[in-house]
Homo-oligomer: A and B are copies of this chain.
Amino acid sequence: VRARFYLPEIDDTGQGVLAGDEAGHLTRVLRLGVGADIDVFDGRGGMFHARVESINRNRVRVRVAGSVPFAAESALRVTLVMSVLKGDKMDNVVRDAVMMGVAGVQPVVAARSEVRLSTVVRGDRTDRWQRIAVSAVKQCGRATVPAVHAPFTLEAWLEHRAPDPVLVLSEPAAGGGRPLSEVRRTEAVQLLVGPEGGWAREESAAFRAAGFQAVSLGGRTIRADAAPLVAMAALYEAWKGW
C-alpha cells in the first residue's frame, strides 16, 4: 500500500501542494523525496495515484495520475451528535466513528458532561478532532473527510440543528427506547449519544418535545465511549447502511 496524503486542492493541470502536517509526514517521517509514488485524496471522494515533483522547504508539489480504488461511502448518512467525553476518550470516538463511516461529527456539551464548552473551545479540541478525522480517513481507506463541527451546548444545538431526523440513544436505566428494527429507516439520520452521567431530566423532556425517537440497545449498560460505536454498528446493520 502506498502512503496516503490529504490534498484538498488539486488544480486543473492535476497539480497540488502538500503543506503543513502532510508535507512534514512525507519528508521527515517517511523520508520520501522527489519522484516518490504516493496516493492523495481530496477529502471529497477522490483518491489518486500521484508523484512527488518538487520539494521546497515544507511545500511538496505533486502531480496526480489516475484514480485509485478506495472504500465506498456508506449509503446511510449518519451524523454522530456526541456529548464530549473527557480526554482521549473523545479522540477515540472521533477516530472510530470516522473509520466506521460517519458522515459528520457534531460535538455537544450536555448538562452532565464532565467537560465544559469553554474548555473545549479554548483547548482547540475541534482542530485536534479534525486532524484525527483526517488520520482516520487514511487508515480506513475512505476518500471523504467527514466534517467535525464546532462544539455547541446541547441547548444551542437543539435550536440550530440540521433537519435530518434524530435518534437518541436511551440508557437501559432510563427505559422506553424502541429497538432500531422498529424505527422507520431514513437515508440520513442524526444519532444523539449522551455523556457518562446520562441525560438530565429536562434534556429528555426536550427531546420528547422535539419529536426525537428514543432507541435502545438491549438492557445492559454500555460504557459512554463504546456506546456511539455500538449504536452506529447496530444502525448500519439494521438499515443496511454498511
Contacts and interface: CB of A to CB of B under 8 A. Distances in A.
A234 B35 CA distance: 44
Report how many copies the assembly holds. 2
Interface in A102-145: 139-142
Interface residues of A, number: 36
Interface stretch (A20-28, A55-63, A148-156, A218-226): A218-226
Contact of A229 (B179, B219, B233, B236): B233
A101 interface: yes
B172 A220 contact: no
A237 B232 CA distance: 11
* Pairs of residues from A and B, 3 with the lowest C-beta to C-beta distance, nearest first: A218-B242, A233-B233, A234-B237
Interface stretch (A92-100, A157-165, A186-194): A92-100
B230 A141 contact: no
